[in-house]
Amino acid sequence: MNNKTKRLEPVPFDTFAAHLGARYEKAQDAEYILRDGTMLTSMPDVRGLYQSADHLATGEAAIPKVYVPAYASPSDLQPSAFDEVGSLMSLSRITATTVPMGLPGFGQRQEPGFVLDSGYVLLNSERTPDGGYKAGAGMDGMYMMTGQVFQPVQDGNGSIIAFMAQEPEREKQIVHQGYAIIDRMQAGAVEFVLGENPRAPQPYVTWRHIIGDASTDFYWGHYFGSYHKAKADLKNRAKEYIRLNTEEKPTSVRAQLAQMQQEQKTASSSKPARAQEER
């Protein structure tokens, strides 16, 4: 566990009902409940990891996160605590433990590293000073560096079992009305951003930001209780802005009348010429 990792202890199993209260019947699928009310279930597709629900035992909305169990001794069957390693949306699964390098049929080789379900590739030879992995993207063994960095998630034995996308430093510093900016999409002269505030009744928001304005000048917020709905809204707002600013705008009524008058003048001036020709 590093200094930034949050560690919490679970409550005893026989006190689940007391912690859940009237909600006990609706949350019996929780395998562990932490001291702060976080409810955990094991992740079926990544052995050794747990994920939290989208609400606490009290019913309060929460952001789903990823947890690694910690054991007091190797012989213990039950974890004594859980380490929070990041949000569930930042987790990437491992699909391969070697990376194809080079064009197929031209001496393509396998290099030690990881292929992630998000499409990124990570090489053991491309690391950051703090132990992160620099991500590449591409296909057919040819990749370009993206600037994205992933941190490894390890089990109790030190084996890497998944990766967490590392949040860019510039995003960590931007907070508006209690919401930390976690994503953005540019659309011409403006951009749309996605903010996250776990303590808010609606933890997610999308705002419009004019490029060149102050970094916290955000407008027209759309608020959501679900990250996936907020992410979809972020994309839709950017697409709609681009569509509205690239489509050919309809001609105004005044312009249409002026065009009709010009056409009539042109038609009138050509009539004598046609009459002379007919003669």
Q: What is the pLDDT of residue 3?
A: 44
Distance from the Cα of residue 273 to its chain's centroid = 69
Angle at alpha carbon of residue 162, lines to 226 and 79, rounded to 5°: 85
pLDDT digits (tens, 9 = 90+) for 19-76: 665 554 455 578 898 888 888 999 988 989 999 988 887 777 888 999 999 998 888 8
Q: What is the pLDDT of residue 27?
A: 54
Q: What is the pLDDT of residue 272?
A: 46
Is pTM beyond 0.75 here?
no
Task: Indicate whether 249 pLDDT > 50.
Answer: no
Residue 252 vs residues 142, 246, 248, 258: alpha-carbon distances, Å = 51, 17, 12, 10
Q: What is the pLDDT of residue 105?
A: 74
The amino acid present at 112, given as its one-letter code, is P
Percent of the chain with pLDDT over 90: 24
Q: What is the mean pLDDT of the chain?
A: 79
Task: Indicate whether 271 pLDDT > 50.
Answer: no
Q: How far apart are CA 205 and CA 231, in angstroms?
A: 9
Q: What is the mean pLDDT of residues 238-266?
A: 61
Percent of the chain with pLDDT over 70: 77
pLDDT-derived band at 215, boundaries 50, 70, 90: low
Q: What is the pLDDT of residue 243?
A: 72
pLDDT digits (tens, 9 = 90+) for 223-237: 998 888 988 888 888
Residue 148 vs residues 46, 55, 209: alpha-carbon distances, Å = 22, 29, 23
Task: Indicate whether 203 pLDDT > 80.
Answer: yes
pLDDT-derived band at 148, boundaries 50, 70, 90: confident
Task: Indicate whether 259 pLDDT > 50.
Answer: yes
pLDDT-derived band at 265, boundaries 50, 70, 90: low
Strand partners, 48: none
pLDDT-derived band at 17, boundaries 50, 70, 90: low
- pLDDT, greater one: 162 or 275: 162
Decide if 108 contacts 101 (C-beta within 8 A). yes
Q: How far apart are CA 275 and CA 279, in angstroms?
A: 6
Angle at alpha carbon of residue 131, lines to 129 and 135, rounded to 5°: 95
Q: What is the pLDDT of residue 24?
A: 45
